[in-house]
Structure 1
Amino acid sequence: MNKSFVLSILILSALMAAMFYYFMAREPALAPFTLESRARVISVDDSEVHTSGLSHLGFQTLEIEILNTRFKGVKTQASNSLNGQIDLENLYHVNDTIIAAIIMDKDGSIEHVKAVDLYRQNSLLSMFIVFTIALLLYAGAVGVKALISFILSIFIIWEILVKQILAGHPPLITTTFTLILLSAIIIFMVAGVNRKGLTAFLGTIAGLGVTLFATLVFGKNAGLLGMTQPYVNTLIFSGYYNLDIRQIFYSAIVLGASGAAMDIAMDIAASMDEIRIKKPDISARELMKSGFTVGRQVIGTMTTTLLLAYSGGYLTLLMIFRVKDPSFVRMINLKIVSAEIMRTLIGSIGLVMVAPITALLGGVIIAGLTTHARK
């Protein structure tokens, strides 16, 4: 087995173990004398639950068995308050595994237990394992590098981007520099530090610049303050009154488009590099033409990919429009619809520009340097 592949597997394993330990071992922001644990529902009392359609009002009384922490094996009662918020609340059943918040008295004994949510971690872990196996089986060493960059990206977004914005740093500037760092890690990790990687990286940065510029130019006239973003009110009323929500909205647009821009830049750079390998005597002009051809094909589907990705997040809203049948003018100018249209179109502008810029860069870097070397 290739030594570099084994080394990559060891690095990946160490990173995954470190990430798991980091997220599992960190102290959550809980109230004093509060402990989180897993619990199994033994019995359910729904006598105080009033159901109307899919929503529930009242409260459940649960008999649970605590499955971990120092109270493991203890059987006690837990309450589950229901306020009709079906997007946030659960109606629990016997044998459900839940997360329970244990409120303790000053002596450390259980005073009250509240059901928080279903325990979904095992299902999510199973999905990640299937994804990892499929990626490694198909991509091999490149798949290992992709997973390493995936894990590092999660860490950087959580520990640098989110933390720095919450600390009061300018969201758009912070996001831009974070994306430059992420692009360098992901592209050079997967493609290697070579002409192909350099072409893809510079093409991605150029696309990032175009997206950023378009966001600033068109954002001023759109009249969107970013208040359509999920949980933004909760964030503000958690004490973060001074956050620039509009800039956070702009940052989300750039962040959302950056992944697709990276894909296009890598597709074109990899294609051009493969052409050069198969035809070493190709001229820079011919290679650029090939890059433009590949770029046109990729762009043809990638802009639709953005549309489908954003539409998927608001499928139920589209269904409401079909039911209520509002006028086109009213629908298109609705704040949340305008925000998603802005996301899609600005992201698409950046994608359209990534392709030709990457093709031009590839002609200079991939073909131009080798042609000059031969002369």
Structure 2
Amino acid sequence: MKRALHRELGVILVLALSCAGLFFIPGPNLLATPGGERARARVIRVDNGDLQLHGLLKFGSQKLEVEILGGPHRGQVFRAANELRAQMELDKEFVPGDVAVVTLPPGATVEDSVATAQDHDRSFWLWTLSLGFCVALCIFGNWTGVKALFSFILSCLVIWKAVIPLVLRGWPASWTIFGAVCFLTGAILFLVAGFNRKGVAAFLGAISGVFAGLCLAHWFTVVMKINGAVLPYSQTLFYGGYEFLDLQDIFVGAMILASSGAVMDLAMDIAAGVDEVACHSPRLSARALIASGMRIGRSVVGTMTTTLLLAYSGGYITLLMMFCAQGNPPWEFINNPLVASEAVKTLIGSFSLLLVAPFTALFAGILLCRARQNTAEAPAAPERFPETSQDPSPA
């Protein structure tokens, strides 16, 4: 019991050190040096006199008075401006009592400076929600929940501190993301299953499915002429000093990254199922175990592909609503770049799931059959019986 506890603590320590190491990796070069000082501020007074209504949208400048809540200007009241550009997805409108993030110019003074209102401050509720998730995960999952929490943090740090800076430095996006997916898949699957044959089978099956999806994604984005500019803010990034980026390659990497979690789940489900079958029937051949894995995969693949379809369709539901309101049938709007890109993303992710099932069943059948046969063929220890004392005296 104590040895198992030490093992759990050792795994958690390794994950914590990995997260700490990733956290201190320097980020990429900035597009522009941030000027001024950012601070949280409470909106005291609002003047909407310069706002104009253009149809259903507002345009103009909203004048504010804000009280700085932190930093060297804490407690001081500044004038601030909030520009509305009739863009609903980017515009924000403040009312008295709101907490905003504002930018103060260098050397700001209350008399001469006007702050710029950036956006609503959502950090408090975001941290509250994150803390609630962490506590609930640790309470429900015990040590497994703690490990899952660190693997979640590790995934975020790998994407933010490794993948994104490397791609911005010119590394090929799809292969960089594939390497990150391999690392995360190995870390998470071996963390859940342990360093055993079941974990190896799940890892090999998941990586095989992801690699097949990567090859299909490269092929179909070329033949269907899918432009990576469909990703949000890609054009802004492209014209902001990173013109060397291959947007199509980034789109391919985004596809395999989005489906890697579902692929990982399916691989673990099939490997665990085959391991249970082999455990209860250790004399089954590799072919029988592979057939069992195939049957398990067939039961799970249907729901997993539907899960991907629902997850991806939720991201562009308003686009589909617009086409529906205009009376466009599916065979007309399927050539729209946004619709075609999401369709390719859904189908490539589903192909990865479809292919990971036979790959995992194959690896699990071979590896776990050998493990169980070695156990079954091992010579059993001779059974020992307690010696009975004999009475030497005659009956």
CA distance in 1, matches of 2:137, 2:11: 13
Match for residue 273 of structure 1?
275
Contact 1:260 1:351 in 2 (8 A): yes
CA distance in 2, matches of 1:42, 1:15: 44
CA distance in 1, matches of 2:266, 2:371: 22
CA distance in 1, matches of 2:332, 2:190: 46
Contact 1:306 1:344 in 2 (8 A): yes
Secondary structure of the 1:227 match is helix
Unaligned runs of 5+ in 2: 378-395
Match for residue 208 of structure 2?
206
Match for residue 50 of structure 1?
52
Measured against aligned partners, the alpha-carbon deviations of 1:294-341 in whole angstroms (never above 9, x if no partner) come to 211110111111111110001111110111112433201111111111
CA distance in 2, matches of 1:110, 1:209: 59
The Cα shift of 1:130 comes to 2.6
Match 1:187 to one of 186, 189, 206? 189
Secondary structure of the 1:325 match is coil
Measured against aligned partners, the alpha-carbon deviations of 1:33-84 in whole angstroms (never above 9, x if no partner) come to 5111111111111111123455221111111111111111111111101101
Bigger Cα displacement from structure 2, 113-122 vs 126-135: 126-135
Measured against aligned partners, the alpha-carbon deviations of 1:195-239 in whole angstroms (never above 9, x if no partner) come to 121111101110011101211222221011211111111111211
The Cα shift of 1:194 comes to 1.2
Match for residue 98 of structure 1?
100
CA distance in 1, matches of 2:126, 2:99: 14
Match for residue 125 of structure 1?
127
Contact 2:259 2:349 in 1 (8 A): yes
Tell me whether 1:169 sits opposite 2:171 in the alignment. yes
- Partner AA of 1:303 in structure 2: T
Secondary structure of the 1:285 match is helix
Match for residue 72 of structure 1?
74
CA distance in 2, matches of 1:34, 1:288: 63
- Partner AA of 1:91 in structure 2: E
Bigger Cα displacement from structure 2, 106-115 vs 33-42: 106-115
Match for residue 232 of structure 1?
234
Tell me whether 1:303 sits opposite 2:270 in the alignment. no
Contact 2:12 2:150 in 1 (8 A): no
CA distance in 1, matches of 2:106, 2:251: 40
Aligned runs of 1:1-375 on 2, under 5 Å? 3-4=5-6, 7=9, 11=13, 31=33, 33-52=35-54, 54-105=56-107, 111-375=113-377
Contact 2:98 2:120 in 1 (8 A): yes
- Partner AA of 1:161 in structure 2: V
Contact 2:279 2:372 in 1 (8 A): no
The verdict on how the C-alpha distance between 1:324 and 1:36 changes in structure 2, with shifts beyond 3 A counting, is same
Contact 1:196 1:273 in 2 (8 A): yes
Bigger Cα displacement from structure 2, 280-289 vs 194-203: 280-289
Measured against aligned partners, the alpha-carbon deviations of 1:156-209 in whole angstroms (never above 9, x if no partner) come to 111111111110111122122121111111211222211121111101110011
CA distance in 1, matches of 2:14, 2:132: 16
The verdict on how the C-alpha distance between 1:10 and 1:205 changes in structure 2, with shifts beyond 3 A counting, is closer
CA distance in 2, matches of 1:243, 1:334: 23
The verdict on how the C-alpha distance between 1:18 and 1:45 changes in structure 2, with shifts beyond 3 A counting, is farther
Contact 1:15 1:148 in 2 (8 A): no
The verdict on how the C-alpha distance between 1:278 and 1:270 changes in structure 2, with shifts beyond 3 A counting, is same
CA distance in 1, matches of 2:84, 2:118: 11
CA distance in 2, matches of 1:20, 1:201: 23
Contact 1:8 1:144 in 2 (8 A): no
- Partner AA of 1:234 in structure 2: T
CA distance in 1, matches of 2:132, 2:341: 34
Bigger Cα displacement from structure 2, 48-57 vs 229-238: 48-57
Contact 1:299 1:351 in 2 (8 A): yes
Match for residue 384 of structure 2?
none
Secondary structure of the 1:174 match is helix
Unaligned runs of 5+ in 1: none
Identity %: 38
- Partner AA of 2:364 in structure 1: G
CA distance in 2, matches of 1:75, 1:39: 9
C-alpha RMSD of the superposition: 2.9
The verdict on how the C-alpha distance between 1:42 and 1:13 changes in structure 2, with shifts beyond 3 A counting, is farther
- Partner AA of 2:157 in structure 1: F
The verdict on how the C-alpha distance between 1:116 and 1:181 changes in structure 2, with shifts beyond 3 A counting, is same
- Partner AA of 2:289 in structure 1: L
CA distance in 1, matches of 2:165, 2:150: 22
The verdict on how the C-alpha distance between 1:17 and 1:298 changes in structure 2, with shifts beyond 3 A counting, is closer
Contact 2:28 2:165 in 1 (8 A): no
CA distance in 2, matches of 1:223, 1:6: 49
Match for residue 389 of structure 2?
none
The Cα shift of 1:11 comes to 4.0
CA distance in 2, matches of 1:108, 1:167: 41
- Partner AA of 2:105 in structure 1: I
